[in-house]
């Protein structure tokens, strides 16, 4: 770690400690109430409230999972490359107070809502022990999964943390039933290939098989091109301009997060289908794009980038299946 990083980390920890000092001694919400033990994804045993009432979610998968379980967190963070929570979660989710961004949680804001449980995973804090330890000075923290990990296991640990394990298993069973039914409806497309692309600026990135959109395509029996038929590193994989043909397939699900990124969520732009269509129009001026087979066949499908090119939980997975069916069985954009 270089000197700049050490000073940044020190500032972060000092902010956390000042936050804790400013809060009342019962800020973690668990003091004096019944607790139970939850073992997180790293094997750490965490004492959490039996019925947590003030949950903070610091990632898209944990927010999605909590909402899917019928709970509303007292605070969350903005989505990847966004200034709000992901669009696919709907209007009600937009009212949840924001406590920073997915890449930079605001410790002071987190402390100010007096959480009794904080849920994080590798898509946000990315297993940064000093940051997790600082959060644990505010409230019990459960680390629920890794970047690129299976949404099912993340959901199961979130559900266990909020004492709703059976409800979590029910969501998974419902999804598996839905995916099997969709696979039957899509049998006529199982000899075709499908690519998932995030477009930002004048460049593309591939969503591979470990991310939610890739998992959804696999779950409904659809194939990836040979160069994309693999697990990635838990995030989108950039494609250089000279290798633009690597994004090609019989069909391309095409999304954008505008000009924003995890490190610069304020850069502007949107993530909805309209923004995706605008990005397609822009991409048509990039050398090689109009030579793609999917483009020439009219098979580039604009989609919501906050759903298709980021990450999430069960609500996202249901949405992805709906989008696939809409695009391939109804002939419309999602």
Helix (H/G/I), strand (E/B), else coil: 297: coil
| Alpha-carbon 62 to chain mean position | 8
**334/331 Cα distance (integer angstroms):** 9
Q: Residue 105 has what DSSP assignment?
A: B
Is 293 buried (19+), middle (13-18) or exposed (0-12) by CB count in 10 A? Answer: middle
Convert the pLDDT of each residue in 111-152 to its tens digit. Answer: 999 999 999 999 988 767 889 999 999 999 999 999 999 999
Q: Percent helix, strand and coil across the chain, each rounded to 5?
A: 40, 15, 40
Considering all CA atoms of the chain, what is the largest pairwise distance in Å, rounded to the nearest integer? 66
Mean predicted confidence (pLDDT) in 68-92 = 93
Convert the pLDDT of each residue in 255-306 to its tens digit. Answer: 998 655 445 455 555 789 999 999 999 999 999 999 999 999 999 999 999 9
**117/145 Cα distance (integer angstroms):** 16
Mean predicted confidence (pLDDT) in 310-314 = 95
Convert the pLDDT of each residue in 212-251 to its tens digit. Answer: 999 999 999 999 999 999 998 878 999 999 999 999 999 9
Does the structure show a pLDDT above 50 at 182? yes
Check residues 330 and 230 and name the one with the higher pLDDT.
230
Strands 194-200 and 251-255, bridge-based pairing: parallel
| Alpha-carbon 233 to chain mean position | 14
Does the structure show a pLDDT above 60 at 90? yes
Q: Tell me the pLDDT band of 3, cut-offs 50, 70 and 90.
A: very low
């Amino acid at each position: 770690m270089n000197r700049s990083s050490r000073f940044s980390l020190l500032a972060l920890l000092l902010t956390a400690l000042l936050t804790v000092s400013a809060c009342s001694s019962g800020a973690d919400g668990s003091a004096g109430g019944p607790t139970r033990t939850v073992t997180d994804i790293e094997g750490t045993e965490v004492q959490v409230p039996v019925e947590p009432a003030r949950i903070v979610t610091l990632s898209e998968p944990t927010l999605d999972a909590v909402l899917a379980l019928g709970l509303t967190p007292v605070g969350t963070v903005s989505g990847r490359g966004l200034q709000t929570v992901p669009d696919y979660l709907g209007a009600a989710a937009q009212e949840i107070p924001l406590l920073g961004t997915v890449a930079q949680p605001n410790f002071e804001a987190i402390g100010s809502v007096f959480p009794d449980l904080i849920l994080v995973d590798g898509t946000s804090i990315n297993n940064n022990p000093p940051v997790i330890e600082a959060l644990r000075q505010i409230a019990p923290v459960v680390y629920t999964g890794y970047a690129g990990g299976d949404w099912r296991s993340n959901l199961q640990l979130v559900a266990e943390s909020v004492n709703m394990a059976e409800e979590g298993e029910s969501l998974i069973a419902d999804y598996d039933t839905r995916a099997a039914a969709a696979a039957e409806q899509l049998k006529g497309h199982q000899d075709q290939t499908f690519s998932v692309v995030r477009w930002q600026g004048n460049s593309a990135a591939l969503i591979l098989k470990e991310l939610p959109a890739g998992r959804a395509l696999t779950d409904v029996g659809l194939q990836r091109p040979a160069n994309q038929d693999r697990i990635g590193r838990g995030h989108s994989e950039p494609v250089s301009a000279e290798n633009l043909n690597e994004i090609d397939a019989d069909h391309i699900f095409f999304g954008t997060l505008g000009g924003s990124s995890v490190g610069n969520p304020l850069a502007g732009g949107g993530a909805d289908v309209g923004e995706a269509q605008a990005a397609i129009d822009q991409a048509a001026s990039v050398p090689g794009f109009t030579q793609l087979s999917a483009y020439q066949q009219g098979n580039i499908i604009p989609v919501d980038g906050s759903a298709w090119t980021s990450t999430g939980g069960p609500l996202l997975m249901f949405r992805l299946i709906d989008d696939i069916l809409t695009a391939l069985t109804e002939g419309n954009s999602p």
